[in-house]
Structure 1
Amino acid sequence: MGCGASNIDSGLTIKLTNRLRDASIFLSGEQVECTVHFDSKLYDPDVEIKEAYIELLGQVGYTTSSIVTVYNHTGSAQTITHTDHRIPFFCERYEFYSESASEKSMTLSQFAMANKWTYKFTLPDELPSSLPPVGYRSSHPYIEYFIRMVLELKNWYQNDIRNSIPLIIYPRINLQNELQRPIEIERTNRKHIHIRINIAQNVIFPRIPFIIDYNLENPNRSTVQAIIVQLCQNRDMGTCGHYNTLIFDTDMFDGNDFKGEHLHNKFELTLPTHYLAPTLSYKFGLISGLTQCNPASVTYELIIDVKVSGLFNDFTLKCPIIMGVELNDERPPSYASAMNLR
């Protein structure tokens, strides 16, 4: 499936238009515009349509597993069953045709004669961020958005015609100046190795480098083997589950030991993925099946592990960090690259 377009064997093609970004990425409050084209050559042109509509959907998904034990003459056998859950929390629909509201019937060939249609959706100002699934069958809740076009056929024995394209939606976040402040953390281990970390501000953005300034004091000239920097994304959706994703893991020493008394250096980091949900907490309304997912929050934590030779000499520093929304549209990511964070 291409970025912002779909064209599969259904004959329905959905394409995003009027885009500032050449990608399926939108901010809350923005307008989503798409065109739909239908090629009826794959079907009997005289097949009648019951209903034709296009909709923009937002839904929470997760998979539950259960173990069923079956007893027979040879003993017991266990079977694991998986159940996929999809709970919509947002839907905007445009109806092109409805048999119940029209005096005339419509066939597939008549629908195709309109050639191409344009639809516009305006996203609400407040929406939770897209959170892609983790793995094929994820027990951890995820949030997804997509545009779906459906042709419901009149005869019950005929399969409906449908197609959809995914969207990535970010909430539009206004980071107040008082939230943006420098980070300074420090710690000393039992070998009197002291490290102080400085970062210019506690807000970082996808694709924008940030600098870690570190000062290392090693009075006993112990062997410092590595300073590992990790960025973790924490997803928390109430009782539905919690999941941590490692965004990056890098060694500021690049594999070289340090045995000196003092080291002051700067290390530049760039986030390795274009798709990162911003720091946010969102509360779903009173929707059946979703209240247990409240609040849906995304937070980030910077973890710095100092590796020192010998037993029990390693030590760790942790601090929360805010992920903002980067609005530079010059080099947008494709949907495929965005979905690599799984």
Structure 2
Amino acid sequence: MGNDQSVGIVCQFDRSYPLYFTDEVLSGVIHLPKKFNRIYIELVGEIGFVTNETVTNNTGETKTVNTNKFEQFFRQTVPYAECQQTHNGQVDIPFKAVLPAHLPPSLNYPKVYPNVQYHLQVVYDESASTTNKFQSFYFIVLPQVNLLSKPNLLVPSEFSNNNRKNVSLKCKMNKLGYLPGDIIEATLDIHNPEMIKIHKVTIKLTEINEINSAERKHEVLTYIVPEINETKDENMSAQLSMQIPQDGYDHRSSTTDNSLAVKYLAPSYHFEGGINQLIRITNKFTLKIDVGCSGLFTDFELSIPVTIGTESDNN
């Protein structure tokens, strides 16, 4: 399309933290340093991923290199109002667009792969003889997931597993659908007939991003059950109460520069679509209970699928 070059274009979204839900209106003002020959604005959604490619140099030697690649799954032209020229020659362009209902959530920071990213793209020609140039401004999109549409997630459920030493674990969940900030309440019951030592029980809520064939995991919360620690009791029980972080976690990597923290918890969602090829995006959560026991091959786990939504009422 052209070159991504900065000429002093500024995008001012209508909110200080550019996070939008699907079906919401995304609006703001584009500030141009001058009037251009031609300009248009579009919204772009794309995935970013890393591929391994084999390259050959002039001497015939080959090596494998990592290449960052991108594939668009969404593009929408943004209508805008008449340009308003200021007294100092700057041009202001108000814009407004409704985000479609079935977009997948933003996942990970642009420099963290794989990722799902959205940006508002300003494409312009400085003169009739120059090629298109563009400048991009990132924003965050989250789909609306109403837990009331999935009533099976809002009733108690029970899960169980055991190891080769007949240590059995039962977990009774109060429900399987939650919002950020909700408290996960559950009851753990362990039956230990051979009275082997149980070292500890660790619970982790993990977000799993699946973007085509690539995958990335994030630990949302970790909890060590205090009632079950270095014990040989035959029967053990614990009442769990774990709060899901309201603001999620920082989607930047540890090597990212000191830019604005990108904190949110994307909801559970599955998307299939694309422009030039089929793209599959799944965001899901697992509550995993790890039981550490004495002896060889006696540790075991219980994985429970949970759903994170964005609302639980009709508003």
Fold-level similarity (TM above 0.5): yes
Matched residue of 1:172: which SS?
Answer: coil
State the AA in 2 paired with 1:221.
M
Aligned residue number for residue 218 of structure 2: 246
CA distance in 1, matches of 2:310, 2:224: 26
Instruction: Kindly indicate whether residue 31 of structure 2 is the aligned counterpart of residue 57 of structure 1.
Output: no
CA distance in 2, matches of 1:123, 1:168: 11
CA distance in 2, matches of 1:220, 1:204: 37
Aligned residue number for residue 231 of structure 2: 258
Matched residue of 1:192: which SS?
Answer: coil
Structure 1 residue ranges without an equivalent (≥5):
1-7, 41-47, 98-105, 329-342
Matched residue of 1:283: which SS?
Answer: strand
Aligned residue number for residue 319 of structure 1: 304
Pairing 1:147-226 to 2, within 5 Å after superposition:
147-154=120-127, 160=133, 163-175=135-147, 176=149, 177-226=151-200
* 1:148 Cα offset (Å): 2.7
Matched residue of 2:40: which SS?
Answer: strand
Matched residue of 1:164: which SS?
Answer: strand
Instruction: Kindly indicate whether residue 81 of structure 2 is the aligned counterpart of residue 87 of structure 1.
Output: no
* 1:306 Cα offset (Å): 0.6
Instruction: Kindly indicate whether residue 219 of structure 2 is the aligned counterpart of residue 230 of structure 1.
Output: no
Number of residues paired by the alignment?
290
Aligned residue number for residue 268 of structure 1: 241
Which structure has more strand as a fraction of its residues? 2
CA distance in 2, matches of 1:179, 1:93: 38
Matched residue of 1:49: which SS?
Answer: coil
Query: Which string of whole-angstrom CA distances, capped at 9 and with x for unpartnered residues, describes residues 160-205 of structure 1?
Result: 4x54332211112233223433221123333332221111101122
CA distance in 2, matches of 1:179, 1:255: 28
* CA contact 1:278–1:323 (8 Å) conserved in 2: yes
Aligned residue number for residue 43 of structure 1: none
* 1:71 Cα offset (Å): 5.9
Q: Which has the larger radius of gyration?
A: 1
CA distance in 1, matches of 2:33, 2:36: 15
Q: TM-score, normalised by structure 2?
A: 0.77
Query: Which string of whole-angstrom CA distances, capped at 9 and with x for unpartnered residues, describes residues 202-227 of structure 1?
Result: 11222222123212233443211111
* 1:279 Cα offset (Å): 1.7
CA distance in 2, matches of 1:197, 1:92: 50
CA distance in 2, matches of 1:66, 1:279: 32
Aligned residue number for residue 94 of structure 2: 118
Pairing 1:30-49 to 2, within 5 Å after superposition:
30-39=24-33, 49=36
Which structure has more helix as a fraction of its residues? 1
CA distance in 2, matches of 1:308, 1:81: 41
Matched residue of 2:285: which SS?
Answer: strand
CA distance in 1, matches of 2:310, 2:243: 15
* 1:158 Cα offset (Å): 9.0
* CA contact 1:225–1:307 (8 Å) conserved in 2: yes
State the AA in 2 paired with 1:222.
I
Aligned residue number for residue 13 of structure 1: 10
Structure 2 residue ranges without an equivalent (≥5):
250-263
Counterparts in 2 of 1:110 and 1:116: CA distance versus 1, 3 Å: closer
State the AA in 2 paired with 1:37.
H
CA distance in 1, matches of 2:29, 2:227: 50
CA distance in 2, matches of 1:145, 1:163: 13
CA distance in 2, matches of 1:111, 1:12: 17
Q: Percent identity?
A: 22
Counterparts in 2 of 1:305 and 1:81: CA distance versus 1, 3 Å: closer
Aligned residue number for residue 259 of structure 2: none
* 1:81 Cα offset (Å): 5.6
State the AA in 2 paired with 1:15.
Q
